[in-house]
Amino acid sequence: MLDKRIQADDTSNNRCAWLCLGLICLLLAACTPAATYQASVIQAQGVFSASGETPLPVHWWTNFEDPALDRLIAQALADNFTLQSAWDRLDQARAVARRSGADLVPQLSGEAGGSTSSSRIDSRSNSSQSFNLGLVASYEIDLWGRIRSTSEAAVLDALASEESLQTAALTLSAQVATTWYQFLEQIGQIEILEQQQHTNEQALELVSLQFRTGQVSIADLLQQRQVVESRRGERALAAARAQVLQNQLAVLLGVAPDQAPPLASSNFGELPPLPSTGLQSSLLQRRPDVRAAWLQLQAADQRVAAAVADRFPRLSLTGRVDSTSEQIEDLFDDWLASLAANLLAPLIDGGRRRAEVERSQAVAAEALHDYGQTVLEAFTEVENALTQEQRQQEYLASISRQLELSIQASWRIRDRYLNGAEDYQRVLGALLSNQLLQRTQLTARRELFVNRINLCRALAGGWKMSRQPERPIIPGE
């Protein structure tokens, strides 16, 4: 009768304890703090100053219809070490997100142990041994959303890392394309210089013949020889620049310069039509660097909420099941289970938690300003590329007209020189002007393609990417 009364008292005490715990949780939940930081959104409306009609392909470089460029970018996206480092940073961010999310799940640990002891009393030896086996479970009730906010911030960081990877891939593809067209320009410059060298050598033969017949002075002969030698030196510099650009391409492809694939020279081809620029708002949704900045802003906002929640009490539950026996096979014949609740409230911390809230708010404000700056830079890059391409088109047209006029003037001055109506200085000046315009035209055409690359880079979004298997790095390879 007495045992039943004791059991009833224990049951009543347990019910009272759980009732008190529930009332504490309700009172704490009623005091849940609201987040004081609200991130404002920068709205973008309007269109850009110019636009085409053809949508930009996802893989923007295919718009140039250059198979060699397609192969180079494909290899760079697979083997470039800088891009592989971006993949590694993404893996780190994903692992941190998984680690942060683990705190939302109850933790369960197992423990096992054994001990032995011996003693000697009155010339008698005694020994004993014991074994224990148990399970320990712990769980923190996320009253204020601190754990969830921290986990959400880590997830947003991982998503921002994915966008940063897309940004790195876009930057890499633009670098490869720019370097490729710079290389093609230098190959074209070498071809032009060789043609000009042939022309200058023919002119040198003519001037040498006239010098031997006394029709021109030694100064005219020396000037023409200087022109021939000048083109030979310029060709050497163009060959050096072409080799440097080929080495840069090798680094972008992830190989050593001596292992770079052979680069077959080709013409620039035709500039593709101007792509559609669309609305400013669609650019913000498309560009990965803008999306990354927005995700980083949201992550900073979540950390503000976590810092605010850290100033309030924490409630954790701990459960334990233990069994101890002198024999292993007798474990869990007798066992003990316990469940405990722990409420930890900060009282005096020297202002540390308040300072952390203020720091988190400042970080969030910085992220907001960084996002605004990223948006402005995105708009500026598109507008700059559009303006530069338009003006470069005008400049290239002017260079082409100058070259046509220079050719006509050169022939007329040459005819007058052969008829004795002009001195050789006019002929030499017209020749040098014509040759300079030829090389300038090629450079202007390359700059036009680079401007289009910049426009595509500013307008392009990301694409689905998969990491290629890492190739082994062999020492001495």
**306-360 pLDDT tens trace:** 999 999 998 888 988 888 877 777 676 777 888 888 888 888 888 999 999 999 9
DSSP string, 316-340: EEEEEEEEEESSGGGBTTB-EEEEE
At 336 the pLDDT is 81
With 90 as the cut, is the pLDDT of residue 377 above it? yes
With 90 as the cut, is the pLDDT of residue 95 above it? yes
Cα–Cα dist 157/380, whole Å = 26
Distances (CA, A) of 45 to 91, 280, 296: 36, 6, 23
Predicted TM-score of the model (pTM): 0.83
With 50 as the cut, is the pLDDT of residue 29 above it? no
Average pLDDT estimate for 278-289: 91
Average pLDDT estimate for 182-188: 94
pLDDT band for 458, please (50, 70, 90 cuts): very high
Cα 143–Cα 146–Cα 106 angle in degrees, nearest 5: 70
With 80 as the cut, is the pLDDT of residue 266 above it? no
Cα–Cα dist 159/418, whole Å = 74
Compare 467 and 39 and report the one with higher pLDDT. Answer: 467
DSSP string, 18-63: HHHHHHHHHHHHHTPPPP-----------B-S---SBPPPSSGGGG
Task: List, in sequence order, every residue forming a beta bridge with 108; answer none if it has no partner.
Answer: 137
Cα–Cα dist 417/347, whole Å = 100
Q: Give the count of beta carbons closer than 10 Å to the beta carbon of residue 306.
A: 23
Closest CA to 432 of 406, 408, 396: 406
Cα Dmax for the chain: 145
Q: Is 206 exposed, middle or buried, given 0-12, 13-18 or 19+ CB atoms closer than 10 A?
A: middle
Cα–Cα dist 293/366, whole Å = 11
Please check whether residue 324 is in contact with residue 130, taking contact to mean a CB–CB distance below 8 angstroms: yes
pLDDT band for 7, please (50, 70, 90 cuts): very low
Compare 166 and 413 and report the one with higher pLDDT. Answer: 166
At 38 the pLDDT is 43
For residue 197, give every residue at least 6 positions away whose Cβ sits within 8 Å of its Cβ, in sequence order, or none.
228, 231, 232, 235
Average pLDDT estimate for 193-200: 92
Which region among 6-10, 166-170, 198-202, 219-223 has the lowest average model confidence (pLDDT)? Answer: 6-10
pLDDT band for 42, please (50, 70, 90 cuts): low
Percentage of the residues of the chain whose pLDDT score is greater than 70: 86
Tokens describing residue 36: 């004081």
- Count of all residues that appear for the chain in the document: 477
At 363 the pLDDT is 95
Cα–Cα dist 148/303, whole Å = 10
At 15 the pLDDT is 53
Cα–Cα dist 225/202, whole Å = 11
Order of strands across the sheet that contains 314-325:
107-121, 124-141, 314-325, 336-344
Please check whether residue 115 is in contact with residue 205, taking contact to mean a CB–CB distance below 8 angstroms: no
| DSSP code at position 271 | P
DSSP string, 87-103: HHHHHHHHHHHHHHHGG
At 113 the pLDDT is 82
At 448 the pLDDT is 96
At 30 the pLDDT is 41
With 70 as the cut, is the pLDDT of residue 99 above it? yes
At 146 the pLDDT is 92
pLDDT band for 44, please (50, 70, 90 cuts): low
At 203 the pLDDT is 86
Average pLDDT estimate for 120-136: 77
Closest CA to 77 of 198, 178, 172: 172
At 469 the pLDDT is 65
Average pLDDT estimate for 145-162: 94
Question: CATH assignment of 46-114+128-459?
Answer: 1.20.1600.10
> Domains of the chain: which residue ranges?
46-114+128-459
